Amino acid sequence: MGKIVAVILILLGIGGGAFAGLTLRPAIEMEEDDDLVAEPVVAPPVESLGVFELPGHFMVPVIAETGIHSVMVIALALEIDEAFEARVAANVPRLRDALLQVMFDHSNTGGFDGTFTSQTSLGQLRRSLLEAGQKTLGRETVHRVLITEIMRSGA
């Protein structure tokens, strides 16, 4: 008898949850233009893109349990709209600080351990660097981050 009551309570709980989910979901509003195919949003064309080499190399320690395991030496360049080259040059210290913090975070989460040159690891690093660059200088200024050199020194 106790098993039957337990099964009935489980079924009532599942049914009640399904009913609540169906009744509380947001209603879909249909408009007359919904039958038209939406065109993708395209960024306005950029007059001319250029490459801005960041001066110097970034040196990022790779920390192990016993201390510094190795050091990553990284050179970066930014693909920018040439109209904003003066803005980029004027903000190099702020930009280097933001990019270096991203690389420290990447190192602390194990991004430079093992096969650090894999597409997954470098792709994640590039996306994070791009977000930091765009946050510092603006989305209209920085279009891409290029890793021009990367090397691990040490064990």
User: What is the CATH topology of the domain spanning 49-154?
Assistant: Tetrahydropterin Synthase; Chain A (3.30.479)
> How many C-beta atoms surround the C-beta of residue 130 within 10 A?
19
Q: Are strands 58-64 and 67-81 parallel, antiparallel or unpaired?
A: antiparallel
Structure tokens at 28: 């879909």
Return the closest-CA partner of residue 108 out of 73, 72, 149: 72
CA-CA distance, 53 to 24, in Å (whole number)?
53
Asked whether the beta carbons of 47 and 85 are under 8 A apart, the reply is no
Chain-centre distance for alpha carbon 113: 19
pLDDT in tens, the chain (155 residues): 777 877 787 777 777 676 666 666 665 555 554 454 545 544 555 568 899 999 999 999 988 878 888 899 999 999 998 889 999 999 999 999 999 999 999 988 888 887 787 888 888 999 999 999 999 998 998 999 999 999 988 76
| φ, ψ of residue 101 in degrees (nearest 5) | -65, -40
Structure tokens at 74: 């990284």
- Ordered by start, the domain boundaries in the chain are 2-35, 49-154
Structure confidence at residue 145 (pLDDT):
93
Q: Where are the beta strands (DSSP E) in the chain?
A: 49-53, 58-64, 67-81, 142-154
Burial of 45 (0-12, 13-18, 19+ CB in 10 A): exposed
Structure tokens at 110: 């194990």
